[in-house]
Amino acid sequence: MSLRLVSSGGAVTDPAVLNLTGSGVIHPGEIVDFTRAADYILAPSGASSTTTMVFGVAQSYIQGETDSYLQVIPFAQGQIWEIDCANAVTTAQLGRRQVQSATRGYLHNTGTDLGAGDAHTAVFEALSITGSTSGSGKIIGRVRHQVAPVYRSAGVFI
């Protein structure tokens, strides 16, 4: 497991699960990007994904095809997530915004905060430590995402 929904922000107990087309190898629990491609919508997320790309968390598995359907929980305001970390967890990482690891499905929790051009790739804000702090642990926090209009043609945004 990479990402697990801890809270949906109050009274919401069952998050909406959407069935959208995806491409690439995507495992349950991994963050997916909203790609806006012509023949599919979702793609695997990674270390270079930005706050305007991350869309939600996969709930099913697909491999390679561009016409496969993937179940996904979209990110929404108020959600709290638990994420696996690639590095040892320390309290110095709390309150900081961090990027995903090059190993998909993990947070690259190095304690950096929006430095060296990470303003848009720092997609996760750490709030609390859960689990072990030795080796790789888990952090609870929120996903930083922005919904940006997509320019399709002259003056048309979707």
> For the segment 97-140, what is each residue's pLDDT rounded down to a tens digit?
888 887 777 888 876 666 666 678 888 999 999 876 666 788 99
Indicate if 15 and 68 belong to the same structural domain: yes
* Higher per-residue confidence, 1 vs 114: 114
Per-residue model confidence (pLDDT) at position 58: 94
Residue 47 lies in a domain: yes
Give the long-range contacts of residues 141-145, CB within 8 A, separation 24 or more. Answer: 141/80, 141/81, 141/83, 142/79, 142/80, 142/81, 143/31, 143/54, 143/75, 143/79, 143/81, 144/51, 144/54, 144/97, 145/51, 145/52, 145/54, 145/55, 145/75
pLDDT value for 13: 59
User: Is residue 154 in some structural domain?
Assistant: no
Q: Are residues 25 and 69 in the same domain?
A: yes
Residue 130 pLDDT = 86
* 146-157 per-position pLDDT tens digit: 876 555 555 544
Same domain, yes or no: 69 and 13? yes
| Higher pLDDT, residue 67 or 80 | 80
* pTM for this entry: 0.83
User: Which tokens is 113 given?
Assistant: 């905060």
Q: What is the pLDDT of residue 10?
A: 58
Decide if 155 is inside a domain.
no
Range of the domain at 109: 80-143
Q: Same structural domain for residues 61 and 85?
A: no
Q: What is the pLDDT of residue 111?
A: 64
Nearest CA-CA partner of 68 in 92, 99, 96, 32 = 32
- The whole-number pLDDT of residue 132 equals 65
Average pLDDT, the chain: 81
- Same domain flag for 86 and 128: yes
Of 51, 74, 97, the position where a domain reaches its end is 74
- Whether 14 is covered by a domain: the verdict is yes
CA 152 to mean position of chain CA atoms: 25
Q: What is the mean pLDDT of residues 32-46?
A: 85
Last residue of a domain, one of 55, 74, 93: 74
Mean pLDDT computed over 83-88: 87
Would 152 be classed as within a structural domain?
Answer: no
Give the DSSP letter string of 76-145.
Answer: -TT-EEEEEBSS---GGGTT-EEPBPSSTTSB---S--S-TTTTTT--EEEEEEES-SSSS-EEEEEE--
Identify whether residues 89 and 39 lie together within a single domain: no
Domains of the chain: total: 2
Look at residue 14 in the predicted model and tell me its pLDDT.
65
Single out the residue in 24, 46, 74 at which a domain terminates. 74
User: What pLDDT score was predicted for residue 158?
Assistant: 47
Residue 46, pLDDT > 90, answer: no
